[in-house]
Structure 1
Amino acid sequence: MKLDDDDFTLFGLPQRFALDAALLDQRWRALQAEVHPDRFVSEGTAAQRLAMQWAVRVNEAYRRLKNPLQRGAYLCELRGASIDAENNTAMPPAFLMQQMAWREALDEAADAAAVEALDAEVATEASAMVERLGALLDDAQDAPQAAQQVRALMFVQRFRDDIQRRLELLDA
């Protein structure tokens, strides 16, 4: 293992979007057992510091691989397709129209039931988008299109966060 290995190599997994979550969890526990700083207490400060770096690296990689949106973005980056969400906000017109319709529906939602129904609709679309992201990365090997899909999913995630805030206000 090297600190600069990519996350997939670190966990001994193929560079694919689709992954076995149970295997990822198993590999994470094994790596944590191997690099946990408590194992190096008797080896001095330098060994403990290095173990801490390893533990942090393993945890960061685990979080990135566990989250489909982060995993997709990471694979795009590994394949040379920068997400660049801060500078590249171009989206297909149909996607933008859908976003506007959802925003209007959220603004017009009169009660928690209406907001929850909207959330269910958006969650269903988000799941379909994650599936398309997986197909773009694993089947089509189209990293530039996958990067656009990641950016779209980031928009959807922010909107779902807005929905949750609205539900919290309605519950208060």
Structure 2
Amino acid sequence: MNYFELFDLPVRFQLDGQALSEAYRRLQMQFHPDKFASRPERERLQAVQQAARINDAFSTLKDPLGRAEYLLSLQGVDIRGEQQTLKDPSFLMQQMEWREQLEEIPAAADVFAAIMAFERELKQASGDYYGELEHQLDAGRWSEAADTVRKLKFMAKLHTELERVEDAQQEF
């Protein structure tokens, strides 16, 4: 049973977050290990394993990037944990430009304004890529979707680095 079936959700990128949360709570109540405390050890172990699977499934489906990677894995395209380089020259150029922008932020006249502007730019670009990703997944264009996920993973790392720059500024 895949994660979507576990939560009784359609197998697609766009999902109802409320339905996911409600199904998660229902399953957690049903399989919570405390309910099996007086049961034989085998049943207790199975409950713990099922609760762990429910938690993993929930965190995977809740996160759009994790959900996209999981959808790709269901199609035999497993990119989780890979370090493959993209072959998209325009995105590679954009990566270099974003890296330069990030490096220049600490020297900006108004560091916080530079951080906010860069964050808006990343958010806009990520939104555009997520829109593309949804269409690619819906159309079964797995290879293109995998490349878009790779781009989004880079952008997520870049956003994390931006947060570090911001945290470093707040320490002063």
Of 30, 38, 45 in structure 2, the residue corresponding to residue 34 of structure 1 is 30
Of 14, 18, 23 in structure 2, the residue corresponding to residue 22 of structure 1 is 18
Distance 1:61 1:113 in 2: 38
- Percent identity reads 38
**Structure 1: gaps of 5 or more residues:** none
Residues 160-169 or 88-97, more deviating? 88-97
- So what's the TM-score if we normalise by structure 2? 0.92
Distance 1:39 1:12 in 2: 23
* Residue 125 (structure 2) aligns with: 125
Distance 2:99 2:83 in 1: 22
- 1:12 maps to a residue whose letter is D
Find the residue that maps to 2:38 and give its secondary structure. Answer: helix
**Structure 2: gaps of 5 or more residues:** none
Of 93, 99, 102 in structure 2, the residue corresponding to residue 103 of structure 1 is 99
1:145 aligns with 2:144: yes
Aligned length: 167
Q: Per-residue deviation at 1:165?
A: 0.5
Conservation of the 8 A alpha-carbon contact between 2:28 and 2:54: yes
Find the residue that maps to 2:87 and give its secondary structure. Answer: coil
- 1:123 maps to a residue whose letter is K
Q: Per-residue deviation at 1:85?
A: 5.6
Instruction: Kindly indicate whether structure 1 or structure 2 has the higher relative contact order, using CA contacts under 8 Å at least 6 residues apart.
Output: 1
The verdict on how the C-alpha distance between 1:115 and 1:91 changes in structure 2, with shifts beyond 3 A counting, is farther
* Residue 161 (structure 2) aligns with: 162
Superposed CA offset, 1:52-91 (max 9, x none): 1000000000000000000001101111223266342123
Conservation of the 8 A alpha-carbon contact between 1:80 and 1:143: no
- 1:129 maps to a residue whose letter is Y
Conservation of the 8 A alpha-carbon contact between 1:85 and 1:151: no
Conservation of the 8 A alpha-carbon contact between 1:83 and 1:148: no
- 1:127 maps to a residue whose letter is G
Distance 1:43 1:85 in 2: 38
Of 68, 72, 82 in structure 1, the residue corresponding to residue 78 of structure 2 is 82
* Residue 135 (structure 1) aligns with: 135
Distance 1:145 1:25 in 2: 30
Conservation of the 8 A alpha-carbon contact between 2:69 and 2:80: no
Of 55, 67, 72 in structure 2, the residue corresponding to residue 71 of structure 1 is 67
Distance 2:154 2:42 in 1: 43
- So what's the TM-score if we normalise by structure 1? 0.92
Over the aligned positions, Cα root-mean-square deviation in angstroms equals 1.3
Residues 29-38 or 108-117, more deviating? 108-117
